[in-house]
């Protein structure tokens, strides 16, 4: 089994004219995973102290398979705040997965949020017992690629079939292709109030 992962992040933040806070982040991620299994067995050792395959009497039995998965993502975020009262954030992801056919491999998933710290407004400052009051709302789209690695392709395996009265070996389809498989998408909306007092 082998795997590798690459992550890169760039961050930027700046305060402009005391009242405007701007921040941005851009990232890149790539991961690769590969698994290979090979089995060889033979039975009938004549001496327990000899463990070489050639010392066994039955024919060799072999088996093996390989699986691989690759994913790549580009993502970013932009934040803006005015006087610490009006807060905005925008996020976006662009994800690619080898679990889907080339025409359906990529998905784009944005999200955004906004907040209003009402307790920072001058007309609420006189209320001594109110320490913090913030209204917030967000919306976002999420993507899910939790399927097996080869569901979009036809898969074949060894099989026996009969021709006349003779048994012959060959291959048979074990998984029918579905090349239209793509990202499962879910949209989520949240609205909330944060407050503290006394």
Per mean pLDDT, which range of 29-33, 45-49, 160-164, 194-198 is the poorest? 45-49
Could you tell me if 22 and 87 are in contact, meaning their C-beta atoms sit under 8 angstroms apart?
no
- Span 131-184, pLDDT tens digits: 889 999 999 999 999 998 888 998 888 888 888 888 888 888 888 889 899 999
pLDDT of 6 reads 96
Residue 194 is predicted with a pLDDT of: 93
Signed CA dihedral, 99, 102, 106, 107: sign only: negative
Q: What is the pTM of this model?
A: 0.79
**CB-based contact 148:129 (threshold 8 Å):** no
pLDDT tens, position by position, 47-90: 777 777 777 778 778 888 888 999 999 999 999 999 989 999 99
Q: How far apart, in whole angstroms, are the C-alpha atoms of residue 62 and residue 70?
A: 28
Residue whose C-alpha is closest to residue 31's, from 67, 9, 4, 8: 4
What is the chain's Cα-based Rg?
Answer: 29
Locus of tokens 């001496």: 47
Q: What is the mean pLDDT of the chain?
A: 91
84 or 11: whose pLDDT is higher?
11
Rounded distance between C-alpha atoms, residue 185 and residue 179, angstroms = 17
């Amino acid at each position: 089994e082998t795997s590798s992962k690459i992550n890169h992040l760039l961050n930027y933040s700046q305060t402009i004219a005391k009242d405007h806070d701007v921040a941005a982040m851009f990232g890149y991620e790539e991961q690769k995973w590969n698994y290979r299994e090979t089995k060889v067995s033979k039975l009938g050792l004549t001496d327990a102290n000899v463990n070489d395959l050639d010392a066994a009497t039955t024919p060799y039995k072999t088996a093996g398979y390989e699986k691989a998965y690759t994913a790549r993502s580009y993502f970013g975020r932009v934040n803006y705040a005015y006087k610490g009262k009006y807060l905005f954030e925008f996020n976006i992801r662009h994800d690619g997965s080898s679990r889907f056919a080339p025409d359906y491999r990529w998905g784009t998933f944005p999200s955004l949020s906004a907040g209003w710290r009402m307790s920072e407004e001058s007309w609420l400052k006189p209320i001594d017992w109110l320490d913090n009051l913030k209204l917030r709302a967000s919306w976002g789209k999420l993507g899910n690629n939790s399927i097996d690695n080869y569901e979009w392709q036809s898969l074949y395996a060894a099989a026996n079939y009969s021709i006349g009265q003779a048994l012959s070996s060959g291959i048979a389809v074990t998984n029918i292709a579905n090349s239209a498989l793509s990202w499962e998408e879910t949209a989520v909306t949240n609205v909330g109030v944060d407050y503290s007092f006394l």
